[in-house]
Chain A
Amino acid sequence: GDQVEQSPSALSLHEGTDSALRCNFTTTMRSVQWFRQNSRGSLISLFYLASGTKENGRLKSAFDSKERRYSTLHIRDAQLEDSGTYFCAAEDYGGSGNKLIFGTGTLLSVKP
């Protein structure tokens, strides 16, 4: 079946540094959504992309518009409050549509 491969599985950053998370898809996807799950378990939507790039503050996400088989999330100037688990989720073209297939998550820890 469709798979979403997310990397890295864990990431430790010092405050002020930059990094990137990536999701590869085994098939062409219609859209991608990035979430952060906080310590209480709430899934907060960061970005929804059907193509191109979006930026919000220190976060920027891109969805490969040609092959539609990968997406990235860039974190600039990491802060302590960025810590949490980040998930990408993709919607494929087949089936009923709109069903999200989740990656396995990236556990991000930002240290002083």
Chain B
Amino acid sequence: NAGVIQTPRHKVTGKGQEATLWCEPISGHSAVFWYRQTIVQGLEFLTYFRNQAPIDDSGMPKERFSAQMPNQSHSTLKIQSTQPQDSAVYLCASSLTGMEVFFGKGTRLTVV
């Protein structure tokens, strides 16, 4: 079991460019989550899928951010027109529904 896999581990984008972050959840896990971590805000919930269906996106910034889960083996978080304030570590996690949550190693996004 390789755990939750996130790629890339580091990404640098120019202001205004698009960034796509990838997540492969643990095989068999029905729930997939995206979180963001910054020094100022700490760990913030972004969005949540259950059995590939979007359940809760209450933490997603309303503009520029979108998440997809086209199949049970991967999810993507896309940020359009990136801004410096989007710089953060983006963490993907998965779990069996209602059970212990396991996190990937994160993608450090730097917007310059």
Q: Is B56 a contact of A100 with CB atoms below 8 Å? A: no
Q: Does A13 contact B (CB under 8 A)?
A: no
Q: Is B43 a contact of A102 with CB atoms below 8 Å? A: yes
Question: B58-100 CB contact bits vs A (8 Å, 1 = yes)?
Answer: 1000000000000000000000000000000101000101111
Q: Is B105 a contact of A41 with CB atoms below 8 Å? A: yes
Using Cβ atoms and an 8 Å threshold, which residues of chain B touch A101?
45
Q: Is B101 a contact of A33 with CB atoms below 8 Å? A: yes
Q: Is B91 a contact of A48 with CB atoms below 8 Å? A: no
Q: How many residues of B contact A (CB 8 A)?
A: 26
**Interface on B for A, CB 8 Å cutoff?**
31, 33, 35, 37, 42-45, 48, 50, 55-56, 58, 89, 91, 95, 97-103, 105-106, 108
Q: Which of A41, A43, A48 has the most CB of B within 10 A?
A: A43
Which residues, 53 to 107 on A, are CB-close (under 8 Å) to B? Answer: 87, 89, 95-102, 104-105
Q: Does A26 contact B (CB under 8 A)?
A: no
A selection of 5 A-B contacts at a CB cut-off of 8 Å is A42-B105, A89-B101, A96-B55, A98-B50, A101-B45
Q: Among the listed A87, A98, A102, A104, which residue makes an inter-chain contact with B95, where contact means beta carbons less than 8 Å apart?
A: A98
Nearest 3 A/B pairs, CB to CB: A48-B100, A102-B43, A96-B56
Q: How many residues of A contact B (CB 8 A)?
A: 20
Q: Is B105 a contact of A45 with CB atoms below 8 Å? A: no
Q: Is B48 a contact of A41 with CB atoms below 8 Å? A: no
Distance of A100 Cα from B76 Cα, bound (Å): 20
Q: Is B99 a contact of A99 with CB atoms below 8 Å? A: no
Q: Is B42 a contact of A102 with CB atoms below 8 Å? A: yes
B105 nearest in chain A by CB position: A42
Minimum distance in angstroms from A33 CB to a CB of chain B? 6
Q: Is B89 a contact of A95 with CB atoms below 8 Å? A: no
Minimum distance in angstroms from B58 CB to a CB of chain A? 8
Q: Among the listed A42, A45, A104, which residue makes an inter-chain contact with B100, where contact means beta carbons less than 8 Å apart?
A: A45
| Given known contacts A104-B42, A105-B42, A99 and B106 CB-to-CB distance under 8 angstroms | no
Using Cβ atoms and an 8 Å threshold, which residues of chain A touch B48?
96, 98-99
